[in-house]
A and B are shown apart, each in its own frame.
Chain A
Amino acid sequence: RKEVEQDPGPFNVPEGATVAFNCTYSNSASQSFFWYRQDCRKEPKLLMSVYSSGNEDGRFTAQLNRASQYISLLIRDSKLSDSATYLCVVLGGYQKVTFGTGTKLQVIP
Chain B
Amino acid sequence: NAGVTQTPKFQVLKTGQSMTLQCAQDMNHEYMSWYRQDPGMGLRLIHYSVGAGITDQGEVPNGYNVSRSTTEDFPLRLLSAAPSQTSVYFCASRSSLNQPQHFGDGTRLSIL
Min distance, Cβ A26 to any Cβ of chain B, angstroms: 15
A residues 37-91 near B (Cβ < 8 Å) are 41-46, 49, 87, 89, 91
Residues of B within 8 A of A43 (CB): 90, 103-106
Give chain A nearest CB distance to B28 CB in angstroms.
Answer: 18
Q: A91-B97, A97-B33 are in contact. Are A44 and B43 (CB under 8 A)?
A: yes
The smallest beta-carbon distance between B76 and chain A, in angstroms, is 15
Most chain B CB inside 10 Å of its own CB: which residue of A43, A94, A99, A101: A43
Which 8 interchain pairs have the tightest Cβ spacing?
A: A101-B42, A43-B103, A99-B43, A32-B98, A34-B100, A99-B42, A46-B100, A43-B105
Residues in chain B within 8 A of chain A (CB atoms): 31, 33, 40-43, 45, 48, 50, 56, 88, 90, 97-106, 108
